[in-house]
Structure 1
Amino acid sequence: MSEPALTQLDFADDVISRIRDRAGPYDVRAYLFVLASLERLQGRLPERRHVNGEELAHACRDLALEQYGLLSRTVLEHWGVRATDDIGRMVFTLIDAGLLKAQEGDRLEDFRSVYAFRDAFEAGYPWGSWRDDS
């Protein structure tokens, strides 16, 4: 195996280890999903910049719908993510782990109730109202 590949593997192991140490109620895959959503969002911007909680929450919604379609809400809930507030808690855990950086003024409240999962993942479908929970 070449050294750069080994270095990338070591980096990935370190990232997963740091997340696992702090994962709390969320599956490690949920944290990796948030990081992937952030990277995807950054790649779509004209230039890399700080993004706010609302932007990242919407990026997570968009990636979930693209990757999981009708199962988006189910997948996220399986990982312990039931609201945009959970995305915020994971972001601040990633900040505490040294994997993301916050700017002055960033707050957990920036993620509060950005959208309802039911509306974001089910309301657009004709059968989206079959579930009674929010």
Structure 2
Amino acid sequence: MKKPNYDDVIRDLIKEDPRFTAEAYGFVQEALAYTVKMLDRERALSRNISGPELLEGVRKYAIEEYGPLAKTVLNTWGLTRCEDIGDVVFHLVAKGILRKTEEDSPRDFANGYDFDTAFRKPFQQEPAKGKRKTPCHRIDTNT
């Protein structure tokens, strides 16, 4: 029997769970590769990444790639909370695209971080502190 190609698998996943787009699946896989590189794994035999590690990699990768639009982009693809990332991961596991250990669980992605805080706060400006020491004066330029 012929092994289904990647695009067919992703199309099937979208039919099974239409919350997520093809871009969501691709992004999670890219974020996983980014996380592996970010953690600089020396565990040659075990390259398993925990749920919390992947969530941190997703956060950093999304901010690096999309800047202040990261949350908007992820939301457009159906990724609105950490549990969604876990769902995408375990959909990919179910189709044999990713692997998991016995200890890995969708619960690993629960209560990871708030998307607003994670993706918007890095770009919010801090309010000015203190008062001006000199008042602003209007300068008359007609003299």
| Alignment equivalent of 1:67, drawn from 46, 50, 65 | 65
Q: What displacement does 1:68 show?
A: 0.4
5+ unaligned residues in a row in structure 2: which ranges? 127-143
Q: Structure 1 vs Structure 2: percent identity of aligned residues?
A: 34
| Structure index of larger Rg | 2
Q: Which has the higher helix share?
A: 1
TM-score by length of 1: 0.80
Q: Structure 1 runs of 4+ off > 4 angstroms?
A: none
1:120 is aligned, of 118, 121, 128, to 118
Q: Which amino acid aligns with 1:58?
A: E
Matched, 1:105 2:103: yes
Superposition TM-score, scaled by structure 2 size:
0.75
Aligned residue runs from structure 1 range 48-63, under 5 A:
49-63=47-61
Give 1:39's aligned residue.
33
- The one of 12, 15, 21 equivalent to 2:6 is 15
Task: Give the deviation of 1:127 after TM superposition.
Answer: 5.9
Structure 2 counterpart of 1:79, which letter? Answer: W
Could you tell me which amino acid in structure 1 is paired with residue 23 of structure 2? R
SS at match of 2:66: helix
- Counterparts in 2 of 1:104 and 1:14: CA distance versus 1, 3 Å: same
> How far does the alpha carbon of each residue in 1:22-52 deviate from its partner, in whole angstroms, 9 at most, with x for none?
1221001011000001111222323351010
- Cα offset, 1:19, TM superposition: 1.7
Q: What is the CA–CA distance in structure 2 between the aligned matches of 1:92 and 1:46, rounded to whole Å?
A: 22
What is the number of equivalent residue pairs in this alignment?
Answer: 117
